[in-house]
Amino acid sequence: MSKHDEEGIKCVVWDLDNTLWDGVLVESGALTLKPEIARIIRVLDERGILQSVASKNNFDDAAAKLRELGLWEYFLYPEIHWGAKSESIARIQKVLNIGMNTILFVDDDPFERDEVAKANPDVNVAHADSYATLLEDRRMIPRFITADSARRRQMYREDEQRKRAEETFDGPKETFLSGLGMRFKIAEAQGDDLARAAELTVRTHQLNATGRTYSYDELDALRRSDSHKLYICEMTDVYGSYGKIGLSLVERTESAWYVRLLLMSCRVMSRGVGTVLLGFLMQEAKRAGVRLFADFVPTDRNRAMYVAFKFNGFRDVGDGDTGARVLEANLEQIQNFPGYIEVVTP
């Protein structure tokens, strides 16, 4: 278990003219891709690093060119228009729901890099000339490559479809959610879940009770110990799988259980499943006749988790011996699972 170290890059946002290709699209149709850049884009994609575009161009022309080059599919939520790039980056950050400090913006134009960096001080910027070294950049080498990383772009693509369907859906939100056919499966983590579990502890910040990170080996030892349970959650719906998106580590004694780790991916934050995992732990504790406590370590980004605990009836009972606040559940009042989610428990 360790504190968070430097965060890697989760999304590279590319300029197009004189960055991705040599030349300016509105001036000439004859453009050539920068050497090796298609391969670099593919490798970043395989590593689970998302990519998007912030370019001042006509959307249809740029999209057609990228399709012709076979690269269009790699870019999520591309921002191609004549507006300020700082705002393009801000929109990409918001829609992907990732930290600004995990975005790298690549552009050949110093004016654009400055404009973006001034408006969003946390964003990383790089000169287009440095693209050839991107794959060796430490921030671009994830500590884990899991089944979920390789599928990450596809999962965000499915999210894009869900969002579009949700925006155009005319009716109550719950009716929309019911139509998604969500299935939330809670299981004890197996050996082949551990790389993803370790990755989740590193990548998740908003719905994360402690921010503690664990290595594969630490999780494996805890999973096998008699005094701990490690739960991992997967969610699927009609659009596909969100992947493994939730994790909880529970230390169990005869009279009380202690939630040492509880986290949920930001991609499911608007789905109400944080409450499902909490509710499951509360039900299990009640059935076992034990008290249920949870550690909470405040960070600058995890207030949503604290709100979730409090709104699910936990109360703050003081300082823990591990430097955390300790919350205790009220097991007399456990919220039901939302009717629109089919919950599968171990």
Partner 1 sequence: MVTVESIRSFIRENMVSNHRNAALGDDDDIFKLGFVSSMTALKLVNFVETECGVTVDNDDLDVSTFSTVNRIVAFIERKLGTTLSR
Q: Which residues bind partner 1 (CB under 8 A)?
A: 171-174, 177, 207, 264, 269-272, 274-275, 303-308, 310-313, 316, 335, 338, 340
Query: Measuring CA to CA, which residue among 196, 102, 109 is closest to residue 140?
Result: 102
* Nearest distance in Å: CB 327, partner 1: 10
CB of 208 to partner 1, least distance (A): 11
Residue 56 or residue 325: which is nearer to partner 1 going by CB? 325
User: Which one, 105 or 309, has the nearer CB to partner 1?
Assistant: 309
Q: How far is the CB of 268 from partner 1 (least distance, A)?
A: 9
**Which residue number, 299 or 335, has a Cβ lying nearer to partner 1?**
335
Give 30-99 as a DSSP string.
--EEPTTHHHHHHHHHHTT-EEEEEE-S-HHHHHHHHHHTT-GGGBSS-EESSS-HHHHHHHHHHHHT--
User: What minimum distance in Å lies between the beta carbon of 261 and partner 1?
Assistant: 17
C-beta closer to partner 1: residue 254 or 300: 300
CB closer to partner 1, 207 vs 285: 207
Task: Give the other-Cβ count within 10 Å of 84's Cβ.
Answer: 15
CA neighbor of 199 nearest in space, from 216, 186, 187:
216
Instruction: Closer to partner 1 by CB, 72 or 340: give it.
Output: 340
Which ranges of 141-189 would DSSP assign to H, the alpha helix? Answer: 147-150, 152-168, 173-179
Q: Give the count of beta carbons closer than 10 Å to the beta carbon of residue 23.
A: 13
CB of 164 to partner 1, least distance (A): 18
Packed helices 216-224 and 194-203: angle between N→C axes, nearest 10 degrees: 120
Write the DSSP symbol of residue 15.
-
What residues form DSSP beta bridges with 244? 234
**Nearest distance, CB of residue 310 and partner 1, angstroms:** 4
